[in-house]
Amino acid sequence: MKKLSFFIAMLLLFSGTLFAQVGINNDNSAPDNSAMLDVKSSAKGLLPPRMTTTQMYEISSPAAGLMVYNTTLNSICWFNGSSWDIGANRDGKNCGTVTYGGQTYTSVIIGIQCWMTQNLNIGGAIPGVQDQTNNAIIEKYCYNNNAANCDVYGGLYQWAEIVQYLNGATNTASWNPVPTGNVQGICPDGWHLPTDAEWTILTTYLGGESVAGGPMKEAGTAHWTSPNTGATNSSEFTALPGGYRNSSGTCINLASNGYFWSATTTFTSTAYRRYLSSSDATVVRITFPKVDGFSVRCLQN
């Protein structure tokens, strides 16, 4: 009977502590009245779960206030109830450089994302009148077949080429199965093609599609035609107006418009893109034929 009474007493005591404040310390002090969990130490820290941006976004139904350490951005991140937020103002800082195909690309952190600050320029140039093909060689168009334009504005690519014909994808056929996770495509290791949703994260962070072009566009008229309305490049994204190559092989709109692919398809022969114009500060989200050639920006995993 005594053993039973002792067991019951200990059970009641333990049950009570489940709903009490908890203090973790080495000085036997009581937890602060305002805290359910009070950790005190002068020699060690509190270590939250560590994961990449990709792993963080894979957390199902995160609770408001959920906190992780993002190893991609080297920063504490938390879920604010509707989206992931960054624990410190990292805007304008870089997340490293990458040398790829003989060219070094710099980067910039914008909100929770890390973007390349140059248009991708990888592959061997082919004439604009030819379609890019699935031949295990990355191919690009240089505006008006002029290599100097690739040096400044990067290459132009058909959609199937940027995804490298993954899972049977072509400019006229959908991939099967639809890939899960990041699509690296023609981006270097550790980087991927941004999805439509990831472009939206960027433009939403910069104030919405009606104004995001301003902080994204390179300021001035060194590469953009006048008036380059609203351009401040305050995000340091440094969008450049590489124009595009249309389905007939003609290149148009160099210096007046910048067009950027996403990895997200809409129908068998179309995919989402974003474009910016020298005449306003908007970022336009629209679907377009995969056979056209647009610029590419890579996003860090």
What digits encode the pLDDT tens for the residues 48-88? 999 988 889 889 999 999 999 998 888 898 898 878 888 77
Res 13 pLDDT > 60: no
Residue 252 Cα distances to 47, 243, 284, 294, 295, angstroms: 53, 6, 18, 11, 13
> pTM of the predicted model, to two decimals?
0.84
Q: Which of 297, 296, 276, 272 is nearest to 286 (CA)?
A: 272
In this prediction, residues 87-99 reach a mean pLDDT of 86
- Rounded to the nearest 5°, which phi and psi values hold at 6? -65, -40
Q: How far is Cα 136 from Cα 76, in angstroms, rounded to an integer?
A: 40
Per-domain residue ranges of the chain: 2-39, 50-86, 98-300
Give the model's pLDDT for residue 14: 45
Res 19 pLDDT > 60: no
Share of the chain above pLDDT 90, in %: 72
3-class DSSP state of 260: strand
Give the model's pLDDT for residue 88: 72
What digits encode the pLDDT tens for the residues 136-150? 999 999 999 999 999
Res 176 pLDDT > 90: yes
In this prediction, residues 221-239 reach a mean pLDDT of 98
Give the model's pLDDT for residue 20: 62
In this prediction, residues 22-27 reach a mean pLDDT of 71
Res 7 pLDDT > 50: no
In this prediction, residues 198-215 reach a mean pLDDT of 96
In this prediction, residues 164-182 reach a mean pLDDT of 96
Give the model's pLDDT for residue 78: 87
Give the model's pLDDT for residue 25: 72
What digits encode the pLDDT tens for the residues 120-136? 999 999 999 999 999 99
